[in-house]
Amino acid sequence: MATTTTETDRTVPVRGTAVETTKTFRPDPGEAPEEDLREAVLQLEREGEWIVQRVPEPYYEAPTKYGRMKKIPYERTWHHKSCGQCGHIPGYSTSIFWLNRVLGYDYFDPRDQTSCTAWNYYASATSNQAAQAAVAMRNFAAAYETGYFPLIHCGTSFGHYKEVRHELVHDHALRRQVRGIIERLGRPFVMPEEIVHYSEWMYAVRDQLQERVVHDLGPIVSTVHPACHYYKLQSGDAIYDPEIYGGQRTAVVTGVVQALGAQVADYSTWYDCCGFGFRHILVQRDFTRSFATLRKIEVMKEEANPDVVLTHDTGCVTSLDKSQFAAQAHGRNVGVPVMSESQFAALAMGAHPFRVTQLHWHSTDYRPLLAKMGIDAEQAWAEFQEDVKKIEAGTMDYLTWESVL
Amino acid sequence: MEKAYADVPAEEKTRLYREVVQDARFDTYLYGCYECGICVAACPSARFYDFSPRKIAQALAREDVDLVYEQMNDDVWNCSQCFSCLRCPRGNNPGGLITIMREVAVNNGLRTTKEALAGYTRIIYKIMTTGTQVSPDMLQEDAFPDWGPQVKDVADHLAVWRRALPPETMHTTALSWEVEERTMRELYAIWKWTGTLDMIAQLDEGLHDIMEEIMDDALEDSGIA
């Protein structure tokens, strides 16, 4: 078993993702406790209720919680961006796009897209079923009209859209109401064949990412926070791999990080949420700060002492990263950089830490991690400052893709 | 000990209870309760507040209209909506029940709901008028003093740092990404046609009026009936 050394030179075992049991769990789709909603989606298409947008070929087939296979498109993806990622953690989305470009995949970054507006649902309850479903179906229609397949960046949007799909399949009256709205907007009524999260795409391309790693990640110890809205809401089609955690936890993020060559250490509060709470992160942050640090970061520090915390959703990065400043001021055992696995993968593959992964938008000190990865943060920051000067001087309008690939 | 909200007529409490259980989602969110407490063990809010998802499920299942009314006022806004409670072995969705209870509380303009959302209305405005609620210009040091000096750094350099982003759609400061006008108008139509804008009137009449004007102006010449 690998070990890592804490600040007090105490050795902490790095418990990985192999389960401590001889039992093998192989889920049987025939024994699944939940219906396969995708069959109902196709049946409704046969009955003329909606159009089903097919996953474009070629696609990857990934195992899900009950052993059913899920199609994950490699390319021709329509990127359903996240308001929180684009707004506050822009290196998150930029890294996803950068990885697509490095792998040579065709994708579409739409302007004809709203967020899922789930803030209006989970935070303030100032919306309703019909509105939320209409927002989802309007976005799905916009994707269909471009010929590209929706790839959803936000864990909450992903989970919420699966809730919407469940409601639309089972509630005839709701489906009729929402169809009426979409048709009144002059849009087609379309349900995607699969609802796919970007971290599933990351999982699908993990071997291709591995081939392009340029830094030695062997010494890097990470902890993974699985995002609640990814695998707790409508959990049946989240990716589970018998080889990772014995198929007892979702395999996304962990499977990618291990493929990249870094260590993933276990910790006891992995099931706990990050403390985001929607309304809480904005107007009741004492809860968020306390939960994020006491139940997550401090436990990770105590049990695994990671170099980095990796996750796959907007709110989780925000809560776990931003909450550490106040806790650090109180001398608590915190101080671990937090980012998405897309940013970590991009860094591992040689992306610029500021031009691409945009780490200057993060709060907790990431420089020790970069040093351990063999990345010169000072030189990279100086390069970024040159870009900033050019933009300020008007000699460069924007940083372009050409300058970061 | 006197019951909470004893001054509220039983008929009113029963009316709100019925709104909750008559919601289309209710029957798939509550199947019964073993009282096992797994949902409480998994719940982050239960660790921090005097809050219990088990009690929510129990009160609704027992048709305890007094307790449901009390929860609708004093408890539901503590929920994190993380849905860790979906671990329920009975298949309940306490977080979903709370979503419904919150909607009923908003629709009926409960005083405690207005108080819980008092600091939140600017977010509702952002969501409903732009469709991209967590905008870059929200990052201000007076709004997030506990996030440290990095927030001020972002605020001080916001415009230029946004232009130092390679994705062409993200050079914005007031929106998370560029949204087409047609897209925005369609969103407004959805809010109006589904009664969502009317919900805001119960919560904050001033906010409702401002948003209605924006939406009506945008929709007037849009060709969207």
Tell me the pLDDT tens digit for each residue of B31-48: 999 999 999 999 999 999
Contact A94 B176 (CB under 8 A): no
Task: List the domain range (segments joined by +) for residue A251.
Answer: 213-383
pLDDT in tens, B87-118: 999 999 999 999 999 999 999 999 999 999 98
Can you tell me the distance from the alpha carbon of A51 to that of A44, in angstroms, rounded to the nearest whole number?
A: 9
Q: Are strands A59-63 and A69-73 parallel, antiparallel or unpaired?
A: antiparallel
Q: Mark yes or no for CB contact B44/A271 under 8 Å.
A: no
What pLDDT is stored for residue A8 in this prediction?
43
Which domain-ending residue is among B115, B135, B159? B115
B55, B87, B115: which is the final residue of a domain? B115
Per-residue pLDDT, A7: 47
> Hey, how many other C-beta atoms are within 10 angstroms of the C-beta on A163?
23
**Chain A, 358-377: which have a CB under 8 Å from a chain B CB?**
358, 360-363
β-strand pairing of A11-13 with A69-73: unpaired
B179 and B130 in a common domain: yes
Between chains, do A126 and B106 touch, taking CB under 8 Å as contact?
A: yes
Q: Which residues of chain A have pLDDT under 50?
A: 1, 6-10
Comparing CA positions, the residue from A387, A216, A296 lying closest to residue B163 is A387
Which pLDDT does position B182 carry in this prediction? Answer: 96
CATH number of the structural domain spanning residue A83: 1.20.1050.140
Chain A CA closest to residue B103: A125
Mind telling me how many Å the CA of B222 is from chain A's nearest CA?
A: 11
Domain count of the fold of chain B: 2
Q: Does some domain include residue A245?
A: yes
Amino acid at A184: R
Residues A280 and A252 in one domain: yes
Question: A-B interface: how many C-beta pairs under 8 angstroms?
Answer: 260
Contact B132 A391 (CB under 8 A): no
Residues A194 and A218 in one domain: no
CA dihedral A220, A223, A226, A227 (to 10 degrees): -90
Q: Do residues A311 and A92 make contact, with C-beta atoms less than 8 angstroms apart?
A: no
Instruction: Look at residue B225 and tell me if it is in a domain.
Output: no
Phi, psi of A287 (to 5 degrees): -65, -50
b/e map A300-330, b = 16+ CB within 10 Å: bbebbbbbbbbbbbbbbbbbbbbbbbbbbee
Residues B203, B197: Cα–Cα separation, whole Å: 10
In terms of domains, do A43 and A178 share one? yes
For B120, residues 6+ apart whose C-beta sits below 8 A from its C-beta are: A123, A124, A279, A282, A283
Residues B198 and B131 in one domain: yes
pLDDT value of position A301 = 97
* Chain A residue numbers touching B139 (CB-CB < 8 A): 88
Write b or e for each residue in A6-41: b if 16 or more Cβ atoms lie within 10 A of its Cβ, otherwise e: eeeeeebebbbbebeeeeeeebeeeeeeeeebbeeb
Q: Are residue B129 and residue B210 in the same domain, yes or no? A: yes
Question: Is residue B3 one of the residues assigned to a domain?
Answer: no
Shared-domain flag, residues B131 and B73: no
Tokens of A113: 């897209």
Kindly report the pTM of this predicted structure.
0.96
**B86 to A384: CB separation less than 8 angstroms, yes or no:** no
Residues A237 and A175 occupy one common structural domain: no
Q: What ranges in chain B are assigned the alpha helix state H?
A: 10-21, 26-29, 38-42, 44-48, 53-61, 65-74, 94-107, 111-116, 121-130, 149-156, 158-163, 181-193, 196-203, 205-220
Q: Do A90 and B124 touch (CB under 8 A)?
A: no
Q: Judge if B150 and B205 occupy the same domain.
A: yes
Q: Are residues B22 and B108 in the same domain?
A: yes
Q: Chain centroid to CA A129: how far?
A: 24
> Are B78 and B125 found together in one domain?
no
Q: Same domain for A151 and A234?
A: no
* Domain assignment of residue B127, yes or no: yes
Q: Which chain B positions have a beta carbon within 8 Å of A119's beta carbon? A: 123, 127, 133-134
CATH of the domain at A221: 3.40.50.11810
Is residue A83 in some structural domain?
A: yes
Q: Between A86, A138, A326, which is nearest B177 by CB?
A: A86
Q: Does residue A217 share a domain with residue A156?
A: no
In terms of domains, do A194 and A223 share one? no
Which helix (H) or strand (E) is A165 found in, with range?
helix A155-170
Same structural domain, B172 and B134: yes
Residues 119-158 in A contacting B (C-alpha not used; CB under 8 Å): 119-131, 134-135, 138, 142
User: Do B64 and B140 share a structural domain?
Assistant: no
What's the pLDDT at A383? 98
Residues 56-95 of B with CB under 8 A from A: 77, 80-84, 86-87
Domain count, chain A: 2
Peptide bond into A58 cis (omega under 30): yes
Q: Are residues A159 and A227 in the same domain?
A: no
Query: Following CA atoms A172, A43, A64, A217 in sequence, which dihedral angle do they give, to the nearest 10 degrees?
Result: -90
Give the residue numbers spanning the domain of B80: 10-115
B20 shares a domain with B66: yes
B5 occurs within a structural domain: no
Query: Is residue A181 domain-resident?
Result: yes
Residue B14 structure tokens: 């029963």
Query: Which residues, including other chains, have CB under 8 Å from residue A24's CB and lie 6 or more apart?
Result: A242, A246
- Report CA torsion sign: A308, A97, A162, B190: positive
- Which two structure tokens, joined as six digits, stand for A84? 């929180």
Q: Are residues A50 and A122 in the same domain?
A: yes
Q: Does residue A231 contact residue A253 with C-beta atoms inside 8 Å?
A: no
A306 in a structural domain: yes
Rg of chain A over Cα atoms, rounded to whole angstroms, equals 21
Taking the CA atoms of residue A29, residue A33, residue A34 and residue A39 in that order, the dihedral angle to the nearest 10 degrees is 30
Of the residues A198, A227, A256, which one is the last residue of a structural domain?
A198
**How many angstroms separate the CA atoms of A81 and A158, rounded?**
11
Residue B2, sorted as left (phi over 0), alpha (psi -120 to 50) or beta, turns out to be beta
How is residue A270 written in tokens?
A: 């992995």
Boundary of a domain, candidates B115, B140, B171: B115
Please return the burial class of B202, using the count of CB atoms within 10 Å of its CB with bins 0-12, 13-18 and 19+.
Answer: middle
In a domain, A23, yes or no: no
Min Cα–Cα distance to chain B from A201, Å: 19
The contacts of residue B198 (CB under 8 Å, 6+ apart) are: B208
Say whether A213 sits in a helix, a strand or coil: coil
Q: Please report the pLDDT score of residue A9 as a whole number.
A: 44
- Assess whether A52 and A82 both reside in one domain: yes
For residue B67, being part of any structural domain is answered with yes
The distance of B71 to chain A (nearest Cα, Å) reads 15
By Cβ distance, the residue of A87, A276, A397 closest to B80 is A276
Q: What is the per-residue pLDDT for B99?
A: 98
Tell whether A226 and A150 lie within a shared domain: no
Q: Does the residue B1 lie in any domain?
A: no
**Cβ contacts of A345-348, under 8 Å, gap ≥ 24:** A345/A95, A345/A99, A345/A202, A345/A209, A345/A256, A345/A260, A346/A95, A346/A98, A346/A99, A347/A215, A347/A373, A347/A375, A348/A209, A348/A213, A348/A214, A348/A215, A348/A217, A348/A260, A348/A261, A348/A262, A348/A373
Tokens 């239960």 belong to B46
A88 HSE (CA, 13 A, CB side): 26
The DSSP bridge partners found for residue A4 are A12
Check whether residue B59 and residue B97 sit in a common domain: yes
Q: Is A159–B180 a contact, with Cβ atoms under 8 angstroms apart?
A: no
The position carrying tokens 């001080």 is B156
| Strand A59-63 to A51-53 pairing | unpaired
Residues B130, B156 within the same domain: yes
Average pLDDT over residues B140-160: 96
Check B102 against A282: CB less than 8 A apart: no
Is residue A310 located within the same domain as residue A357? yes
Banded model confidence at residue B1, pLDDT cuts 50, 70, 90: low
Torsion of CA A239, A243, A247, A249, to 10 degrees: -70
Find tokens 């089972």 and name the residue.
Answer: A170
DSSP, res A229: H
Residue numbers in B near A363 (CB within 8 A) = 147-148, 150-151
Domain membership of residue B173 (yes or no) is yes
Question: How far apart are the C-alpha atoms of B80 and B48, rounded to whole Å?
Answer: 11
Beta-carbon contacts of residue A181 (< 8 Å; ≥ 6 apart): A130, A134, A137, B189, B190, B193, B194
Shortest alpha-carbon distance between residue B7 and chain A (Å): 26
Which has the closest alpha carbon to A260: A142, A379, A150, A351?
Answer: A351
Q: Is residue A125 part of a domain?
A: yes
The answer to whether the CB atoms of B25 and A397 lie below 8 A apart is no
